[in-house]
Amino acid sequence: MPELPEVETLCRQLNAVLPGKTVLAVDVLDSRLTPPDGLTGRQIGAITRHGKFLRIALAAARRGRGGPGRGNQPHAEAGDAGSVLVLHLRMTGRLLWQPPAVPLPRYARLAITFAEGRLVLADPRRFATIGDTLPPSAAVSVSAGRIVDPLAGAPAERLRALAQSRRLPVKAFLMDQRWIAGIGNIYACEILHQAGLDPRRPAGGLRIGEWRKVQRATAAVLARAVECRGTSISDWRDLFGEPGANQHHLEVYSRQGEPCRRCGARIERLVLGGRGTWFCPCCQK
């Protein structure tokens, strides 16, 4: 369900709600989830997004340990085990903010209670994960050319360098989180339609001018999706249970058989890398 724009939406909403609040209780409702110990009593700090990961910082416990021993380095990004909560919603995970006394939603898997309300992870398929660190693959420094935030720009030269001599389909390349963080199936389809490129093209075969089109399409598609607070095809809801509006802007995703709004040809569906892939055979070459 959540790709970069949806996670970005949650991140902004979480930052408007959680910082400064103190965790009163953590309830695990699904045994496959193992939240880090010692969350209770701690205060929420800033929430950041890393690709599709959410990272919630936790301030030091308020009582006790107040003394001298704490030579505060200004945020050593690497070893933040014990001071953060990391979430990944995978396919069907949802985060909801509920006022006190509202009953838990269906498929609630984790609840973090505060005096003012509670944060609930609901997830029918149970793929969502929580942890105490970002995985190394999401850490900023792995490979120098990695595009850590396509919302901030995916430069054509960098895309071309990353894709150099690769033969996998350009759509699979765009979705590979090791190189570009945050693009998933919906937005990969939409970006390639807007760029006018066939999703099956080997990534290494695109010319620089074609990468420029990808650069522009990525910026436009993701920015609009964030403005629209995500795509509510079926079950995406924001932190407050509200649907997004970007589904009204989809050009190809899930539209097989319907006419392309640019050229009128029928949208086709095929399977690439095990995922449904929609494209216009007329204007994507």
Partner DNA sequence: TATAATGTTAGACT
Partner DNA sequence: AAGTCTAACATTAT
Give me the residues that bind DNA (CB under 7 A), please.
Answer: 1-3, 6, 32, 51-52, 88, 90-91, 107, 124-127, 135, 137, 166-169, 172, 175, 177, 184-186, 203-204, 230-236, 254, 273-276
Which residue lies nearer to DNA by CB, 113 or 129? 129
Query: Which H or E run contains 269?
Result: strand 268-272
Give the shortest CB-13-to-DNA separation in angstroms.
16
C-alpha span between 261 and 168 (Å, rounded): 28
Coil/strand/helix, residue 69: coil
Give the shortest CB-184-to-DNA separation in angstroms.
2
Catalytic (active site) residue 118:
no
Q: Which of 49, 52, 229, 237 is catalytic?
A: 52
Which residue lies nearer to DNA by CB, 1 or 23? 1
Question: Would you state the structure tokens that stand for residue 257, as one six-digit string?
Answer: 């058989």
Q: Percentage helix, strand, coil, to 5, in the chain?
A: 25, 20, 55
The answer to whether 61 touches 67, Cβ cutoff 8 Å, is: no
Catalytic (active site) residue 3:
yes
The answer to whether 228 touches 246, Cβ cutoff 8 Å, is: yes
Which residue lies nearer to DNA by CB, 23 or 252? 252
Give the shortest CB-75-to-DNA separation in angstroms.
24
221 phi and psi, to 5 degrees? -65, -45
Which residue lies nearer to DNA by CB, 101 or 271? 271
DSSP 255: -
Catalytic (active site) residue 21:
no
Active site residues: 2-3, 52, 275
